[in-house]
Amino acid sequence: MIVALWKALRGFAAHRGLFMAAGLSFYLLICLIPMLFLVVSALGFVLTNEAATQAVLSQLSQIMPVYRKELSDALARIIATRNLSGLLGTAILLLFSTQLFGSLRLVMNEIFGVKRGRGFLRGMLSDVLMLFVMGALFLASIGIMDLFFWLRTFVLAPALMPRQWIRSMAVALSLGLNAGLFFVAYRYFPARQVLAGAALAGALLAAALWEIAKQLFRWYILAVGVYDQIYGPLGALVALAMFAYYTGIVLLLGAEYAAALEAWRRSRRS
Quote the domain boundaries for residue 156.
2-269
pLDDT of residue 200: 96
pLDDT of residue 122: 87
- Whether the full predicted model's pTM is greater than 0.95, yes or no, is no
Please give the average per-residue pLDDT across 24-49, as a whole number: 74
The number of beta carbons lying within 10 Å of the beta carbon of residue 140 is 12
- Long-range contacts: 72-78, Cβ < 8 Å, 24+? 74/36, 75/36, 75/40, 78/33, 78/36, 78/37, 78/40
pLDDT of residue 270: 64
Please give the average per-residue pLDDT across 115-132, as a whole number: 84
Alpha-carbon 189 to chain mean position: 14
Per-residue pLDDT band for 248 (boundaries 50, 70, 90) equals: very high
The number of folded domains in the chain is 1
Please give the average per-residue pLDDT across 5-12, as a whole number: 94
Please give the average per-residue pLDDT across 172-198, as a whole number: 93
The number of beta carbons lying within 10 Å of the beta carbon of residue 146 is 15
The better pLDDT of the pair 263, 67 is held by: 263
